[in-house]
């Protein structure tokens, strides 16, 4: 855009692939902020617009790190925070000017909620035709019901396949629908930015929690759409693969993941029962699925001879996919031991916050972490001053 040079002086100085891209972040909670953090990690300048009490997740605690709710820290590094009251004429004018100067705008207000402020797509794109305007809703633009991750886990069918017949429906241990929607939103924005590079015009990017949940359910949704099968909860088992689940050992559990018939042959050998692979009931995926109840006692009996750690060492040495069930702490420690650098310190000076590293590795333009998750409104005056200088 022609305004790009004008906002570079305010923006972050970096070499990321999105350096020089200005993002107005009008989103809250997780899906939208997660998307904008992905863009920020890749070099975009993200201005997070908040109300006087801030993003809801600033108050979702415990746990905390000092005065900060760790939930907020999850999705808000590399951003500038400004506080604007849309009901105040001056602040609304600043918000509208920010939208007019931005390359990307991300919002997750109730469908149609920004129209009364002149911050809807039609109004913004009329003055800024290059804008990539990303709108995140619960159920699409024509359905203004509020969308929260837990509601969508229930409505989409996600909870119906999580848990077991004994436990009943169970939610995921993380706001997985919000995260999936955030990733979909970031991908949509990148696609629209690429289109703008060729045409000069932006476009409206729409994502919603329900559609993202159905997409994220992947093979489970496909089972119904393409096969007419309504998936059922199976606990830790897999509907198409066996064995592919945690199994008890002499101490703890070990996850066994046989992804093909050759792996099952090798597993049978390592467990001391090569005859299983010759048994017509267990020789291939389809037959093992049908005869799970007949195979499982033998697997459990064989695994009961050693601990989960012993089996992990033995099966890994044999090239078989397996894993213990770790805590989050153990998962982070494992990634560290493998050289994956899962923790990135964001910020500098007196405010450095450990955050979970961006998992995308780019060889020429890597993610950067120069800004810690911002204190509420810490950049308000700086951003207002910059916008005044452009009038």
Contact 106, 31 (CB under 8 A): no
Closest CA to 108 of 148, 79, 154, 76: 148
89 is catalytic: no
- For the chain, where do the domains classified as CATH 3.30.1540.10 start and end? 244-326
Strands (E) located in the chain: 22-26, 45-50, 64-65, 68-69, 79-83, 104-107, 132-137, 163-164, 168-169, 203-208, 244-248, 253-257, 322-324, 343-348, 351-356
Distance of CA 88 to the CA centre of its chain: 34
Identified catalytic residue from 55, 120, 149, 178: 178
Say what the pTM is. 0.91
Give ∠ CA 41-43-45 in degrees, rounded to 5.
100
> What is the CATH number assigned to the segment(s) 244-326?
3.30.1540.10
Q: What is the pLDDT of residue 6?
A: 45
- For the chain, where do the domains classified as CATH 3.40.50.10540 start and end? 4-218+342-390
CATH architecture of 4-218+342-390: 3-Layer(aba) Sandwich (3.40)
Q: If the chain, 391 residues long, is cut into consecutive pieces of 10 residues, what is the mean pLDDT of each piece?
A: 46 82 96 97 96 96 96 97 96 97 95 92 97 96 89 96 92 96 98 96 97 97 96 89 94 93 94 93 90 94 94 94 94 96 95 96 94 96 91 73
Structure tokens at 217: 């359910």
């Amino acid at each position: 855009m022609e305004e790009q040079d004008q906002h570079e002086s305010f923006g972050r100085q970096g070499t990321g692939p999105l350096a020089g891209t200005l993002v107005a972040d009008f989103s809250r909670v997780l899906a939208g902020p997660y998307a904008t953090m992905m863009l920020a990690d890749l070099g975009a300048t993200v201005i997070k617009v908040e109300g006087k009490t801030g993003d809801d997740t600033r108050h979702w605690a415990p746990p905390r790190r000092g005065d900060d709710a760790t939930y907020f820290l999850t999705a808000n590094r590399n951003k500038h925070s400004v506080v604007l009251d849309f009901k105040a004429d001056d602040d609304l004018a600043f918000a509208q000017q920010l939208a007019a100067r931005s390359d990307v705008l991300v919002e997750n207000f109730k469908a149609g909620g920004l129209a009364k402020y002149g911050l809807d797509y039609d109004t913004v794109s009329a003055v800024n035709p290059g804008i990539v305007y990303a709108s995140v809703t619960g159920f699409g633009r024509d359905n203004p019901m509020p969308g929260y991750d837990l509601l969508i886990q229930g409505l989409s069918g996600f909870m119906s396949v999580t848990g077991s017949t004994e436990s009943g429906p169970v939610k995921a241990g993380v706001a997985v629908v919000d995260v999936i929607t955030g990733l979909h939103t970031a991908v949509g924005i990148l696609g629209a930015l690429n289109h703008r590079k060729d045409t000069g015009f932006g476009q409206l990017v729409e994502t919603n929690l329900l559609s993202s949940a159905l997409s994220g359910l992947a093979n489970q949704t496909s089972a119904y759409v393409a096969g007419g099968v309504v998936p059922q909860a199976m606990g830790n088992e897999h509907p198409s693969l066996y064995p592919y689940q945690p199994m008890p050992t002499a101490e703890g559990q070990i996850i066994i993941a046989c992804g093909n018939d050759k792996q099952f042959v090798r597993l049978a050998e390592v467990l001391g029962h090569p005859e299983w692979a010759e048994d017509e009931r267990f020789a291939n995926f389809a037959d093992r699925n049908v005869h799970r109840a007949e195979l499982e006692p033998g697997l459990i009996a064989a695994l009961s001879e050693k601990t989960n750690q012993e089996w992990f060492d033995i099966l890994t040495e044999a090239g078989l996919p397996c894993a213990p069930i770790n805590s989050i702490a153990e998962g982070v420690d494992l990634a560290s031991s493998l050289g994956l650098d899962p923790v990135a310190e964001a910020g500098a000076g007196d405010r450095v916050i450990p955050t979970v590293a961006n998992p995308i590795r780019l060889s020429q333009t890597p993610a950067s972490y120069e800004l810690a998750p911002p204190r509420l409104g810490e950049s308000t005056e700086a951003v207002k001053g910059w916008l005044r200088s452009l009038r």
